[in-house]
Amino acid sequence: MIKVGIIGATGYAGGELVRLLMAHKEVEIKWLGSRSYIDKKYSEVYQNMFQIIDAKCMDDNMEELANQVDVIFTATPQGLCASLVNEDILAKVKIIDLSADFRIKDVATYEEWYGIKHTSAQYIDEAVYGLCEVNREAIKKARLLANPGCYPTCSNLSIRPLLLNKVIDASTIIIDAKSGTSGAGRGAKVNNLYCEVNENIKAYGVATHRHTPEIEEQLGYAAEEKIVINFTPHLVPMNRGILITAYASLTKEVSYEEIKAMYDKCYADEKFVRVLEKDVCPETKWVEGSNYVDVNFKIDKRTNRIIMMGAMDNLVKGAAGQAVQNMNLMFGLKESEGLELVPMFP
């Protein structure tokens, strides 16, 4: 059994991680860390765990935790994992960080966009970006794993096949994104109150959203050039889900069949990326509660542009599910173990 510790177990991503790992046949959860609920029973924080988990929440003592487990998940705000990790810990345990601390390879870019000093910059080059469909072999050998952000995951998987095949002008990419409110976290914030969110949709982080440099960096690897994009996220009144609609100019005339073949080839062996049939647009309701990403495209011959679309659950493939997928790879398990979840509907 893989012994697991979770720091930040009472946030939305942390709670989803617990739910997934409880159904994982190769995992034993040893530590539920939560600075806000120390000594409180986990089932009192999440009543859905009543008579399922009897353990109490503990603190975020990574040094002590590293002596008890094989892998530590950190589902915490930016800066915490970087402040705790050190060589002694990494010599004992693997770390899967769900924050942005090790996603961006340029320290100055991270500090500019996140507004904090990076306290473990010496590990940035070593950290593996955990997008399984792209970095699978590197993930298998990692001891420090940067779990991708939700918007970057959906954006990358929706656009990547066309960049690899150089059929779009990377400088023209525009990404319009929508997310459910769980993406904003579980903290008490006025902007996330029911009356603020219900019957409303709004753009936020316009031209300043922190996932922008992560998306640009990862798309840049696929395009083999530096990319600058327009990325605008929107908050919609639903619990879960991300929908990406991206636009770019075509570099040559292509047919539906040619583009479909690019997507099919790119994801032929990827269990969790589903390329939809012609004219079927991805919808968040068809991926909710699952680790699947649904992608598709539409060629607009009138404007010589292509629309790329993706939908996924921000808490599963966008956070906890992808973290479990990475753990499976890191420990030589079946990649889909604990993740073969049929999307929920309604």
Q: For residues 7 and 42, state if they share a domain.
A: yes
10 Å CB burial of residue 279 (0-12, 13-18, 19+) is exposed
Q: What CATH number is associated with residue 259?
A: 3.30.360.10
Residue 68 lies in a domain: yes
Domain of residue 286 covers: 151-314
Q: For residues 308 and 159, state if they share a domain.
A: yes
Q: For residues 283 and 165, state if they share a domain.
A: yes
Under 8 Å between Cβ of 57 and 45: yes
Q: Is the pLDDT of residue 167 over 80?
A: yes
- Of 95, 81, 75, nearest in space to 142 by CA: 95
- Of 171, 109, 140, nearest in space to 330 by CA: 140
Q: What phi, psi does 52 have (nearest 5°)?
A: -110, -45
Residue 263 lies in a domain: yes
Q: For residues 94 and 29, state if they share a domain.
A: yes
Helix axis angle for 12-22 and 321-330, nearest 10°, is: 50
Per residue in 185-219, pLDDT (tens digit) is: 888 789 888 999 999 999 999 999 999 999 999 99
Q: For residues 100 and 235, state if they share a domain.
A: no
Cα–Cα distance between 337 and 222 in angstroms, integer? 28
Helix axis angle for 107-114 and 212-223, nearest 10°, is: 150
Q: For residues 122 and 268, state if they share a domain.
A: no
Q: Where are the alpha helices (DSSP H) in 77-231?
A: 80-84, 87-90, 107-114, 132-140, 150-164, 194-197, 212-223
Residue 335 lies in a domain: no
State the DSSP string of 20-87. HHHT-TTEEEEEEE-TTSTTSBHHHHSGGGTTT--PBPB---HHHHTTT-SEEEE---TTHHHHH--H
Per-residue tokens: 73: 């998940």
Under 8 Å between Cβ of 21 and 56: no
Under 8 Å between Cβ of 250 and 306: yes
Under 8 Å between Cβ of 220 and 280: no
Distances (CA, A) of 30 to 5, 76, 84, 160, 184: 6, 18, 19, 38, 27
Check residue 189 and give its pLDDT: 84
Q: For residues 27 and 98, state if they share a domain.
A: yes
| Residue type at position 263 | Y
Check residue 188 and give its pLDDT: 76
Check residue 186 and give its pLDDT: 84
Question: Per 3-state DSSP, what percentage of the chain is helix, strand, and coil (rounded to 5)?
Answer: 35, 20, 45
Q: What CATH number is associated with residue 108?
A: 3.40.50.720
Known catalytic membership, residue 150: yes
Cα–Cα distance between 319 and 182 in angstroms, integer? 11
Check residue 230 and give its pLDDT: 98
Q: Does this model's pTM top 0.85?
A: yes
Q: For residues 156 and 300, state if they share a domain.
A: yes
User: Which single residue is written with the structure tokens 């000093």?
Assistant: 117
Q: For residues 217 and 169, state if they share a domain.
A: yes
Q: For residues 34 and 77, state if they share a domain.
A: yes
Q: Which helix (H) or strand (E) holds 263?
A: helix 256-266
Q: For residues 162 and 296, state if they share a domain.
A: yes
Provide the number of structural domains found in the chain. 2
Residue 144 lies in a domain: no
Cis omega (within 30 of 0) on the bond before 282?
no
Q: For residues 120 and 161, state if they share a domain.
A: no
Strands 144-146 and 94-97, sheet pairing? parallel
Residue 339 lies in a domain: no
Q: What is the mean pLDDT of residues 16-43?
A: 96
Residue 340 lies in a domain: no
Q: Which residues pair with 3 in a beta bridge?
A: 28
Q: What is the mean pLDDT of residues 26-33?
A: 97
Q: Which of 150, 154, 195, 281 is catalytic?
A: 150
Residue 101 lies in a domain: yes
The SS3 call for residue 96 is strand
Structure confidence at residue 291 as a pLDDT band (50, 70, 90): very high
Structure confidence at residue 280 as a pLDDT band (50, 70, 90): very high
Half-sphere exposure of 91 toward its Cβ, with a 13 Å CA cutoff? Answer: 4
CB atoms near residue 106 (< 10 Å): 11
Residue 135 lies in a domain: no
Per residue in 309-343, pLDDT (tens digit) is: 999 999 999 999 999 999 999 999 999 999 999 99
